[in-house]
């Protein structure tokens, strides 16, 4: 902050702090000045063995004779991240989620003792998103007759799980498979409509 001299009648000028407006904060973050002032920067994900790589924006002025990579201490471990698809594959693939549909009616601890009516739609929506985003997941669904298994399990569960949200997930996946035709689309559509009794149960909600 700037503090005026005695007798000038000026008060302290406002500086950045809790009173900074959202517009001013965005200006500081995105006007490029902050980024261009970075001398060196390290990210726990950007590593090569025990070497932590310099991650400052390219084009910034360098004040080092050599690239300033940093050597991690002996007990320091790099952060390793994996995609949801890689994680699923490491524990058995998309089919490990199927048994969860057989547990929708099981009692569980809650404040009011009631089951979550959105649990089925969330689980099915998650599976549909995985199918849309990965050809490998599509192949696993075909090989394991995924939608037939889900249909069978939901037929044995309470009909309260068959909500409009569940229908919306199926319709969204159907639209994707129809508009983005590939080698897996026809077989998945066949599972969804020709063999899945779940489809006809869901149509009761239309």
Distance CA 206, CA 203 (A): 5
pTM confidence score: 0.59
Instruction: Tell me which residue range forms the domain holding 46.
Output: 22-71
Please tell me the least confidently modeled range out of 52-56, 90-94, 98-102, 127-131.
52-56
- DSSP letter at 45 equals E
pLDDT digits (tens, 9 = 90+) for 136-186: 888 888 888 888 888 888 888 888 887 888 888 888 888 888 888 788 888
Beta bridge partners of 48: 51
Largest separation between any pair of C-alpha atoms in the chain: 88
Q: Are residues 106 and 162 in the same domain?
A: yes
Say if CB 188 and CB 181 are below 8 A apart: no
Q: Are residues 57 and 141 in the same domain?
A: no
Q: Are residues 199 and 114 in the same domain?
A: yes
């Amino acid at each position: 902050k700037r503090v005026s001299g005695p007798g000038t009648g000026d008060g302290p000028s406002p500086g950045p702090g809790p009173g900074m407006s959202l517009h001013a904060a965005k200006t500081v973050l995105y006007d490029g000045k902050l980024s261009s002032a970075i001398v060196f920067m390290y990210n726990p994900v950007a590593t090569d063995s025990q070497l932590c790589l310099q991650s400052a924006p390219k084009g910034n002025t360098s004040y080092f004779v050599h690239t300033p990579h940093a050597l991690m201490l002996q007990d320091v471990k790099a952060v390793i991240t994996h995609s949801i698809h890689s994680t699923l594959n490491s524990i058995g693939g998309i089919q490990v989620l199927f048994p969860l549909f057989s547990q929708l009616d099981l009692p569980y601890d809650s404040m009011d003792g009631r089951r979550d009516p959105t649990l089925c739609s969330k689980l099915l929506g998650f599976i549909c998103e995985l199918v849309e985003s990965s050809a490998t997941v599509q192949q696993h669904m075909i090989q394991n007759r995924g939608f037939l298994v889900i249909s069978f399990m939901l037929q044995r569960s309470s009909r309260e799980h068959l909500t409009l949200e569940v229908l919306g997930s199926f319709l969204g996946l159907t639209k994707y498979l129809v508009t983005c035709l590939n080698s897996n689309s026809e077989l998945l559509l066949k599972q969804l409509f020709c063999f899945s009794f779940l489809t006809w149960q869901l149509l009761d909600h239309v």
